[in-house]
Chains A and B, each alone.
Chain A
Amino acid sequence: MAEITLPESIRDVEPVRSVRTPAQLDYEFTAGDATTRFLTGITNKRIIGQQAPGGRVYVPPRGADPELGQPTPIDVEVAQVGTVTSFCVVNLQFYGSVMEIPYVSALILLDGADLSIMHLIQEVPADQVRIGMRVEGVWRDDADIEPTLESIRYFRPTGEPDDPHVRIPGEGHGTGLGSWVGGVAPTEAVIRNPRTGLGGNPEGASV
């Protein structure tokens, strides 16, 4: 730190090297239409995704289809079983976490959905979780069901054989890891435009 020459009158005063100015603001959120519909389904132990006409099924829904740029008024109930599309093993305790380490956080593509949800995988040792594993949701006791995704306590293996064709949602039509197919950047030439149906590879269109 640069030396500062203080006026004579305050030379004996301890210099201020830092200040703490805590700030707190309180907000009252409302869920909005799409999330309200989704969470209402959860209170009935149903997982209900949403869809725009001609669009994909989003779970959880956020109100707009990001490909079509349209609202998602159509409710589509999806299965409570799905496939692990990716996961990580958490070995660090961090502030606010109530989980015992190590634990597994995973992306799970529910049957009938086009978007993975993130949730916990339990009832299986962390080192046995794998991509392609089939899992099912485990709900809280009925009395404890609330409008929150935490009403599903975790997912656990179903014991079914793994899905050998597991895909990351969007793979092949340009989202996620599939975007840079063969090292080619995701330009309009390689990506299907979901509104016009133009561009991209036809295979991608069906994914």
Chain B
Amino acid sequence: MRDVAVISFAQTPMRRRVEELNEVEMLMPAVHGALRQVDMTIDDIGFTCSGSTDYLAGMAFSFVSTLDAVGPWPPIQESHVEMDGAWALYEAWVKLQIGEIDTALVYAYAKSSPGDLPMVLSRQLDPITMGPLWPDSVSLAALQARALLDSGKATEADFAEVAARSRRAALANPNAQLAWDCPAADVLAEDYLVAPLRRSDCPPITDGAAAIVLAAGDVARSKVERPAWIRGFDHRIEPIHLGLRDLTVSESTRIAAEAAGVADGPVDVAEIHAPFSHQELIVRDALVLGADTSINPSGGALAANAMMTAGLVRIGEVANRIASGEARRGVAHATSGPCLQQNLVCVLEGE
């Protein structure tokens, strides 16, 4: 495997509604920031890959106009995934493995605010039997949470602990949208939003963007003091029909974690992309993390959940902690689809 590292990460402040900017205007500071931090321009980049979905803004081919943010002229090598940017990063990593290029730019963004997000997300379901029922994303998550409670693996108090810990951690994250310091008991005192989930068990709706620069071998070493090397990388998907899956476990995360070699060394930090509090418990279990692993020091997706972006941000948050020396080895996780349908695991390490 070729040595490839995250050498730069930038994100916009995550907000409920970015009304004063269109998508490309919102994206530019993230893309430019990530390049500027390592003194690079698009002319130094071998491959550009982005993650977004037109369903959010309700605009066909919106990802084509956002490409203007990088200045794709003369023509560049470029690709787009209708997925979280973490998968765009995976594609770029594969491209770097081939060995023809040494650098890649990956970005992701979402303006979820123009539409009714929980209903928009129902359009990713199978269009014949589930889609026509318009099950919103919060209700589907609640279905999973109920199954988890019923299995005896977790309690509502466990959910509340995750919700409270995440927002408390977010106080130290200047880009977080939702940060506060309240005991889990306060969360438990809330009314249900969609039982058994309370409002604090659910992610905020977020507009925002993020970008990462990848570089291979000596190029990475020449640009930064402490590159965050990608040591393992895998992603797996499960059937679209919720009835075909045991919703209380994440088999795809487990297999991806095994393939990525999560257990091959100590994990100092794990950034888990769990939009709903109970999902963190399921993913933690599947990643098999020890008690000494710091989980979601950024606050995770409960602090800011820009669609198609929050997974990429997890990789960036782990990379930043490795770059700063705060962590030596970390795990980033990204999810996509209803009830943790698809999962990606990335193991990062400092030298």
Whether B20 contacts A66 by the Cβ 8 Å rule is no
B65 beta carbon closer than 8 Å to chain A: yes
Which residues on the B side are within 8 Å of A193 (C-beta)?
43, 73-74
Binary CB contact string for chain B from 109 to 152 against chain A (1 if under 8 A, 0 otherwise): 00000111001100100011001100000000000000000000
Which residues on the B side are within 8 Å of A195 (C-beta)?
41-43, 71
Whether B114 contacts A33 by the Cβ 8 Å rule is no
Q: Determine chain B's interface SS by DSSP, over half rule.
A: helix
A194 beta carbon closer than 8 Å to chain B: yes
Whether B22 contacts A34 by the Cβ 8 Å rule is yes
Within 8 A of A (CB), among B160-205: none
B70 beta carbon closer than 8 Å to chain A: yes
Q: Determine chain A's interface SS by DSSP, over half rule.
A: loop
Nearest CB on A from B58, distance (A): 4
CA–CA, A155 to B177, complex, Å? 47
Nearest CB on A from B242, distance (A): 18
By CB atoms of chain A within 10 A, which of B22, B32, B43 has the most? B22
Which residues on the A side are within 8 Å of B22 (C-beta)?
30-35, 62-63
Binary CB contact string for chain A from 55 to 72 against chain B (1 if under 8 A, 0 otherwise): 000000011111111110
Whether B71 contacts A187 by the Cβ 8 Å rule is no
CA–CA, A186 to B70, complex, Å? 18
Contact surface of A with B, Cβ cutoff 8 Å = 19, 21, 23, 25-36, 62-71, 174, 186-188, 191, 193-196, 199
Q: Can you list 6 contacts pairing A with B, beta carbon distance less than 8 Å?
A: A23-B131, A25-B120, A62-B22, A188-B74, A193-B43, A199-B74
- 4 closest A-B pairs by beta carbon, nearest first, are A69-B71, A32-B22, A27-B58, A64-B68
New A-B contacts (6) at CB < 8 Å, excluding given A63-B22, A63-B28, A63-B68:
A25-B116, A25-B123, A66-B68, A69-B70, A71-B25, A194-B73
